[in-house]
Amino acid sequence: MTTAAELFALQRTDLAFDSNVARLAEVEAQLGETEELTSARERVDQCREEVREIQARKKELDFQAEEARGKAAEIEGKLYGGTMKNPKELEDFQADLTSLRGQLGKREDALLEAMLELEEGEVALKEAERALAEIETSWKAEQVVLGETQATLKQEIAELEAKRLDQIEGMDRVALSLYGILRERRQGTAVAVVERGLCQGCRITLPMSILQQARAGVGLVQCVSCERILLVN
């Protein structure tokens, strides 16, 4: 015959098993990359891309400014070289030079702007890299702890499974099936302890006849309200 005490011991194993399985699922959900880590990495990539873009723009502006400077020097050479006699030609060259200097001024302004942007971009990149390194360090430490917890939980689950097999060996089939049905219906607790005449499963005061039957320990006695198997200590 299977007693309420035996089923209560089985329930303890099953509840521990359930809670470990739930904890394992939580732990496993936290294993792997976090959103915080991914977004910190994306931020670094984004900053790096911005710096690259500014550097390319600066290089192009450098080239254009150099080109304008070269052209201006060429015209100046012709203008002040003393070889040019035609006043109309002189006037045209003077106009070209003025326009080139204007262009050069604009390019140099743009270049200065780009240099400032580059400086800012590099500061932002360093900041993003520092933040990523910090997040990575604590993430790695967390993953180690999670990995250890996962291993411990798996070990405990395996031990509880073995214990359960031991416990159900020789148990009455009908009793086990009732236990299973009640566990499903009553959030995992099929057996309730009776304390001072109260069913601890549903807090109802039990009729004297039921209490006497449960105390006698002859067969399984169920609560009249919640139907749980009663265990009188």
Name the site residues for Zn ion (rule: CB under 5 A).
199, 201-202, 223, 225-226
Residue among 147 and 197 whose Cβ is closer to Zn ion: 197
Least distance CB 168 / Zn ion (angstroms): 24
DSSP secondary structure code for residue 198 in this structure: E
Residue 198 Cβ vs Zn ion, minimum distance, rounded to whole Å: 9
Which of 175, 199 has the CB closer to Zn ion?
A: 199
* Shortest separation between residue 201's beta carbon and Zn ion, angstroms: 4
Sheet of 191-195: strand order equals: 198-199, 191-195, 229-232
List, as one string, the DSSP characters of 48-77: HHHHHHHHHHHHHHHHHHHHHHHHHHHHHH
CB of 1 to Zn ion, least distance (A): 22
- Which residues are bridge partners to 69 per DSSP? none
Closer residue to Zn ion (CB): 47 or 194? 194
Q: State phi, psi for 229 to the nearest 5 degrees.
A: -70, 130
Strand, helix or coil at 5?
helix
CB of 216 to Zn ion, least distance (A): 18
CA nearest neighbour of 43 among 124, 139, 136, 138: 124
3-state percent breakdown (helix, strand, coil) of the chain, nearest 5: 75, 5, 20
Q: Which is nearer to Zn ion, 135 or 210 (CB)?
A: 210
- Least Å from the CB of residue 230 to Zn ion: 8
Beta strands in 58-214 (DSSP E): 191-195, 198-199
- 188 touches 1 (CB < 8 A): no
Could you tell me the sign of the dihedral formed by the alpha carbons of 186, 188, 190, 193, in that order? negative
- Which CB, 121 or 201, lies closer to Zn ion? 201
Residue 107 or 228: the one with the smaller Cβ distance to Zn ion is: 228
Beta carbon nearer to Zn ion, 214 or 223: 223
Q: How far is the CB of 45 from Zn ion (least distance, A)?
A: 60
